[in-house]
Amino acid sequence: MKSLRLHFTIALLLLVQPILFSQENIFAGIEVGSKGIKMSVIDVYNIKKGGFNIKSYWTENVALAKGISIDGNLIPEDIDRATTVITNNYKKIKNEIGVADGNIFIVGSSGVAMAKNTQALVDKVKAAIGKEMEFIDAQMEGKMLLKGCIPPVDYKDSMVLDIGGGNTKGGYVDVYNSENFVFFPLSLNYGTITLTEAVLKKTRNDEINEFNIKSFGFLPTLREQVNVMYGSKPTALEKEKVYMSGGAVWAFYTLYNGAAKETFNEFKLEDVINYDAILKNNFKRFEELAKTDKDIEKVLKTYSQKYLISGSNILLVCLEAIPEVNNKKLYFAKEGQIAWLVSYVADRSKKVKKIY
């Protein structure tokens, strides 16, 4: 049965009666991340060739990684709030949008998986909606990012990096033979939120100037950790293309260039350097733009200046550590936020080449 082609906005979608999507081709995912919970609905028409349309995508902020930074645990109140958000959106996806229960996946990101008490969240979600929630580690998340984020034709020449709230992860593949690939993961135990919390522990007050000073002082530690990451898999530095995703990269690209229009949007290290300077020295420029630009307004409602600074520092350090980075092709992968879901569907379809 062919999927109905519906071109309603998300706002209209929430107002109409349940829509008769093809139960076979419509999939949905709820991702519990360090900074927020993301909901995606996709219409898959040729997963082998990366053919899919995003029907709906929305987020709700629940900063779960804050508790991890404090004592390694998710805060009970955040677990309750996350469970409520998951439950409400699961019901919306199933009952209002009409996605089959078996086509709805719920996962916790590798950044949240670092917490010691994730089972408490799993149990609460299972009690609320009767569905299992799976946590993925950084290696699996990197693999899923690559499969869902990079065009297969570019696999052997590329690496992917995703700057999340709790950590940074990614990797690359080497061609084993014409049918199989071997995946090599990359991971860094700093993300937008965890780096911010680490810097805040060193500050004496809440002033942005104090945060900037302490962030600058933290850069040697960050550079050391990034060098360790690349040093563990040096072949990554030889790749000609670098695909980047995650909230920090979305924030950079949107604030500096405007909303991304393509699936893969090229940028240069110089763009990140210029953005970083504005972010730290002339933040009012972005605040003024937000008054008339809804996309910029969305970024500033999602991230405070301190979070943006931390994300920019990670982005800069990861790029500056790549030899001859100005000769590389750098891309912001706009659909990176649903890469894991595309990967789930691809594995389920059994129509793509296997990555080990």
Residue whose structure tokens are 């029907």: 55
Cβ-based neighbours of 321, under 8 Å, separated by 6 or more: 223, 226, 227, 230, 237
pTM of the model: 0.76
Model pLDDT for residues 71-100, shown as the tens digit of each residue: 888 889 999 999 999 999 999 999 999 999
**The pLDDT value given to residue 296:** 97
Q: Do the beta carbons of residue 303 and residue 247 sit within 8 Å?
A: yes
Which residues touch 206 (CB under 8 Å, ≥6 apart)?
none
Q: What tokens appear for 253 in the block?
A: 């690209």
Q: What is the model's pLDDT at position 51?
A: 65
- Smallest Cα–Cα separation from 314: which of 232, 249, 233? 249
Beta-sheet pairing, 354-355 with 180-188:
parallel
> How far, rounded to the nearest angstrom, does the alpha carbon of residue 231 sit from its chain's CA centroid?
24
Q: How far apart are CA 81 and CA 70, in angstroms?
A: 18
Name the token pair of 79.
């677990």
Asked if residues 162 and 245 have their Cβ atoms less than 8 Å apart, the reply is yes
For residue 95, give the DSSP letter: I
Domains of the chain: 10-136 (3.30.420.40), 143-337 (3.30.420.150)
What beta strand segments (E) does the chain contain? Answer: 26-32, 36-46, 51-61, 104-108, 134-135, 158-163, 168-175, 180-188, 241-245, 264-267, 329-333, 354-355
CA-CA-CA-CA dihedral for 220, 279, 334, 294, to nearest 10: 160
Torsion, Cα of 119, 123, 124, 128 (10° steps): 150
Intervals of the chain under pLDDT 70: 1-24, 46-51, 69, 175-180, 345-356
Amino acid in position 128:
A
Per-residue pLDDT tens digits for 285-299 = 999 999 999 999 999
